[in-house]
Amino acid sequence: MPHLHIEEFREIGFPSNSDGVSFNFIADNINHKEEKLISTTVEDDEFFLLLKEEEGRVLLKVDKLTKPASIYNVHKALLTYAKAAELNVLSSNVPQNQKNIHLQEVTALKEISYFAGNFPKDREIRIEVGFGSGRHLLHQAINNPEILFIGIEIHHPSIEQVLKQIAIKKLQNILLLSYDARLFMELVPSNIVEKIYVHFPVPWDKKPHRRVISTTFIEEARRILKIGGTLELRTDSENYYAYSYETFIAFNKTTLHINKNRDIAITSKYEDRWRKMEKNIYDVTMINDEESPELEIEGDFEFLDVHLLSEDILKLHKKVQKFDGGFMHLERTYGLRDGIMVRLSMGSFDKPEHLYVVVRGKEAHYYPALPLKSKSNLIAHQFLNKVLHG
């Protein structure tokens, strides 16, 4: 994670603009005075810089919740703020060099709003969840230029590595997204995807609720796949294989193909290592046999007037409120110069959305972006709206 280790924090005037970076406002954590958030805009990215005192150090870094896809914009924001506030930087892992020329040329990396606004449907689609080094994703795209590949990954070094290869190889049929794949699936139109690859997902043996493969994920996969389309799980974990098989087979009607140590055209460096160790590789391939109804999601994320007093909103800190189909947890509270801000986790239990809500007087809005327009998030928003409306 890029960060600056500074001697002490100095606050600039807000709002302000320096070297093409806008610093919009600052938010002070009410319960933890050692934390502040700085609203920042670089090009089309809006996100928070996080000021945190931890283990006797003062760090300025990017807020994980709002971290943009472009790590270059994070670097620029950190260095620009340090310069504008005349901070004494004790150490840094932020590069001073210009943006990688390959990353300047490529436009494959998209925000979730790109897919939510107008999902691409002009050609055959395949999705890879957690593409890692990208070896499989790139191989498939090179050998199937007529097919659009959507790669989903949350590890930013892996994303930048694949972006560089896309630019070098001049590939025009890959789109990348840094997002929770479980949430992404909820906005994909029905019956349009040919294949979904889930190769070597994290097993999460101690936190099974975080696994990609779940009953809900399989339901969404069946909905978005064409008739004859496939969901392909590949794993080196016997425990994950057994769990996934039981999850697949629990459906009333399903067609599965099971393979062990199957040879495929391209393997990852980890699979190469495991094969040398004579470790077993398991494949579970689900074939979709049915056409699904069209996806219909109605509603919006507008707020009614806020009637709940700010002090009463702040009293909800750390409280978990459950409702039919989900929950809402007010995780952190912040003071603004002209209002308050809260950090929430809300939505479904197995794939919650984490976001911020700014409240100024009677007006409330999500910041810096709206939640994903999914059924679970819309239900959660309706509940939140009622709480704030009073």
Q: Specify whether 43 is located in the same domain as 106.
A: no
Domain membership flag for residue 146:
yes
Domain membership flag for residue 304:
no
Q: Specify whether 202 is located in the same domain as 345.
A: no
Q: Specify whether 278 is located in the same domain as 382.
A: no
Q: Tell me, what's the pLDDT at 76?
A: 94
Q: Tell me, what's the pLDDT at 274?
A: 79
Q: Tell me, what's the pLDDT at 265?
A: 83
Q: Tell me, what's the pLDDT at 276?
A: 82
Domain membership flag for residue 208:
yes
Which pLDDT tens digit goes with each residue over 182-219? Answer: 989 999 999 999 999 999 999 988 888 889 999 999 99
Which pLDDT tens digit goes with each residue over 290-344? Answer: 999 998 888 999 999 999 999 999 999 999 988 887 899 999 999 999 999 999 9
CA gap 4, 90 in Å, rounded: 8
Q: Specify whether 235 is located in the same domain as 314.
A: no
> Is residue 89 classed exposed, middle or buried when 0-12, 13-18 and 19+ CB atoms within 10 A define those classes?
middle
CA atoms within 13 A on the CB side of 305: 2
Domain membership flag for residue 120:
yes
Domain membership flag for residue 293:
no
Tokens at 216, concatenated: 């809900």
Domain membership flag for residue 352:
yes
Q: Specify whether 84 is located in the same domain as 179.
A: no
Q: Tell me, what's the pLDDT at 97?
A: 65
- From residue 69, alpha-carbon distances to 65, 206, 289, 353 in Å are 12, 29, 36, 17
Q: Specify whether 206 is located in the same domain as 79.
A: no
Residues forming a β-bridge with 4: 60, 92
Q: Specify whether 271 is located in the same domain as 361.
A: no
Where does the pLDDT of residue 104 fall: very low under 50, low under 70, confident under 90, or very high at 90 and above?
low
Residue 109, domain CATH: 3.40.50.150
Domain count, the chain: 3
Peptide bond into 208 cis (omega under 30): no
Q: Specify whether 76 is located in the same domain as 111.
A: no
- 98, pLDDT greater than 70: no
Q: Please report where in the chains the tokens 């270059």 appear, as a residue.
A: 72
Q: Specify whether 149 is located in the same domain as 233.
A: yes
Where does the pLDDT of residue 236 fall: very low under 50, low under 70, confident under 90, or very high at 90 and above?
very high
Q: Tell me, what's the pLDDT at 96?
A: 78
For 212, other C-beta atoms within 10 Å of its C-beta total 20
Full DSSP string of 353-364: EEEEEEEETTEE
Q: Tell me, what's the pLDDT at 168?
A: 92
CA 200 and chain centroid, separation: 19
Residue percentage of the chain with pLDDT more than 70: 97
Which domain covers residue 25, as residue numbers? Answer: 3-92
- 100, pLDDT greater than 80: no
Q: Specify whether 73 is located in the same domain as 130.
A: no
Domain membership flag for residue 33:
yes
Higher-pLDDT residue of 78, 113? 78
Q: Tell me, what's the pLDDT at 99?
A: 62
Which pLDDT tens digit goes with each residue over 62-95? Answer: 999 999 878 889 999 999 999 999 999 999 999 8
SS3 at position 211:
coil
